[in-house]
């Protein structure tokens, strides 16, 4: 049974065919790290991300060539594509006209109201949404001076300023992100922003770092907010293969029992009683099921005596001993297996359903 959170109901928008906000499923996003101008490499990476479960993809648009590439990229992928724009409003317009399903801009660095208005009018004509992306490192000078730095309150004031600007231009297909590189400030900012608007929120901790620090920061920041009912779409930011971002995003949702995609593997941390190469076994099973969408809980335990009982909530599992192991389902032993066959038999039984 999925955990029921008291999720805030926000205004719903659509990015392509993906609904964001309201009570739509929390969508998992990522961003390519290829040169967008390199269409073949970008398409190849997006297809891998699609296999990993990515539901919306963002690409950097640093120049006109990248903006034009969106048309060819979109023809070869099946998920919505968002153009990420900084500084040059003309690139936002070019990206939208090339077929982008949404725009991500920081109005604070786009320039004058006239330039922002030009982007908004284009988005309105093409019926695509805009994400207002506020980062702690790119706040307006007057706001930084007012708050003596990039505090959570400063970030929220910047976001609200941009929201009001877009609404004054009669544009309402808006979602907002408000990220810092530290967990406390990010969480504080989102909490405050959520109390001030019913717009859908894109949640994440920016520049979270390399694999392990990034996963920890993102899991804490995103996890706390989701558990409080804040957040309509998420992106885990890692200095890593973006497929790891998607996987981590779904693992966060899975850990909170908000959404489930793919198997959940539980395994013991091992101790002096373990007599099988448990780490290797877990890695082989994990790799074999990397793109699986089966909703199943799998246990891999290092002790025949205690394993089945400790993992009795698992749908299926294996436990190893000295040269042999057992297959069990819901804590009940099904059969004994030679150690070298443990992974093979487990995967076969999983596929049987």
What value, to the nearest 5°, has the Cα angle with vertex 183 and ends 255 and 242?
A: 60
| Alpha carbon distances (Å) from 241 to 102, 289, 335 | 23, 18, 39
- Residues 320-341: pLDDT tens digits? 877 788 888 887 888 898 988 9
Q: Rounded to an integer, what distance in angstroms lies between the CA atom of residue 149 and that of residue 298?
A: 47
Question: Is the confidence at residue 3, as pLDDT, over 60?
Answer: no
pLDDT band of residue 59 (cuts 50, 70, 90) is: very high
- Residues 161-188: pLDDT tens digits? 999 999 999 999 999 999 888 899 999 9
Tokens encoding 33: 């790290």
pLDDT band of residue 194 (cuts 50, 70, 90) is: very high
- Three-class secondary structure of residue 301 per DSSP: strand
Q: Rounded to an integer, what distance in angstroms lies between the CA atom of residue 92 and that of residue 120?
A: 10
Name the percent of the chain lying above pLDDT 90.
64
Average pLDDT value for residue range 118-145 = 92
Average pLDDT along the chain: 90
**Sign of torsion, CA 156 159 163 164?**
positive
Domains of the chain by start residue, with CATH: 13-255 (3.20.20.20), 264-352 (3.30.413.10)
pLDDT of residue 79: 98
Average pLDDT value for residue range 104-115 = 83
Q: Rounded to an integer, what distance in angstroms lies between the CA atom of residue 140 and that of residue 134?
A: 10
**Residue 118 contacts by C-beta under 8 Å, 6 or more apart in sequence?**
89, 93
Name the percent of the chain lying above pLDDT 70.
96
pLDDT of residue 318: 87
Tokens encoding 188: 């504080």
pLDDT of residue 140: 86
pLDDT of residue 208: 64
pLDDT of residue 325: 86
Question: Is the confidence at residue 249, as pLDDT, over 60?
Answer: yes
Average pLDDT value for residue range 108-128 = 91
Helices (H), the chain: 39-52, 64-74, 89-97, 107-110, 113-126, 141-147, 152-168, 183-194, 211-227, 242-255, 278-288, 307-310, 342-352
Average pLDDT value for residue range 67-74 = 98
pLDDT of residue 240: 87
**Residue 154 contacts by C-beta under 8 Å, 6 or more apart in sequence?**
139, 143, 144, 146, 147
- Residues 270-308: pLDDT tens digits? 777 677 788 888 999 988 888 788 888 998 888 766 666
Average pLDDT value for residue range 80-95 = 95
Residue 21: closest CA among 29, 13, 30: 13
pLDDT of residue 130: 97
Whose structure tokens read 């969106």? 70
Tokens encoding 132: 């207002």
Question: Is the confidence at residue 80, as pLDDT, over 90?
Answer: yes
pLDDT of residue 1: 47
* Region class of 127: left (phi > 0), else alpha (psi between -120 and 50), else beta: left
pTM value?
0.88
């Amino acid at each position: 049974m999925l955990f029921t959170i008291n999720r805030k109901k926000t205004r719903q928008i659509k990015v392509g065919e993906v609904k964001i906000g309201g009570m739509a499923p929390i969508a998992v996003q990522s961003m390519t790290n290829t040169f967008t101008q390199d269409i073949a490499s970008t398409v190849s990476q997006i297809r891998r991300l699609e296999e990993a479960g990515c539901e919306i993809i963002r690409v950097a648009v640093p120049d006109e060539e990248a903006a034009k590439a969106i048309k060819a990229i979109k023809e070869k992928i099946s998920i919505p594509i968002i153009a990420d724009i900084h500084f040059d409003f003309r690139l936002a317009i070019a990206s939208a006209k090339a077929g982008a399903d949404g725009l991500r801009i920081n109005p604070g660095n786009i320039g004058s109201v006239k330039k922002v208005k030009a982007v908004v009018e284009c988005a309105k004509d093409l019926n695509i949404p805009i994400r207002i992306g506020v980062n702690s490192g790119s706040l307006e000078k007057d706001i930084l001076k007012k708050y003596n730095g990039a505090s959570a309150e400063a970030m929220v004031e910047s976001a609200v300023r941009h929201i009001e600007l877009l609404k004054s231009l009669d544009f309402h297909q808006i979602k907002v992100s408000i990220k810092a590189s530290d967990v406390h400030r990010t969480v504080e900012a989102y909490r405050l922003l959520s109390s001030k608007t019913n717009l859908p929120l894109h949640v994440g901790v920016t520049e979270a770092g390399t694999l392990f620090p990034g996963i920890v920061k993102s899991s804490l920041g995103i996890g706390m907010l989701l558990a409080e009912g804040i957040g309509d779409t998420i992106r885990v930011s890692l200095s890593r293969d973006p497929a790891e971002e998607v996987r981590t995003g779904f693992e966060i949702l899975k850990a909170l029992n908000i959404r489930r995609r793919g198997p959940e593997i539980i395994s013991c941390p091992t101790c002096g009683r373990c007599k099988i190469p448990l780490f290797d076994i877990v890695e082989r099973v994990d790799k074999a099921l990397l793109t699986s969408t089966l909703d199943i809980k799998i246990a891999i335990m290092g002790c025949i005596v205690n394993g089945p009982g400790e993992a009795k909530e698992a749908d299926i599992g294996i436990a190893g001993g000295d040269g042999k192991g057992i297959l069990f389902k819901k804590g009940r032993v099904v059969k004994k297996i030679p150690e070298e066959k443990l992974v093979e038999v487990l995967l076969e039984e999983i596929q049987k359903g």
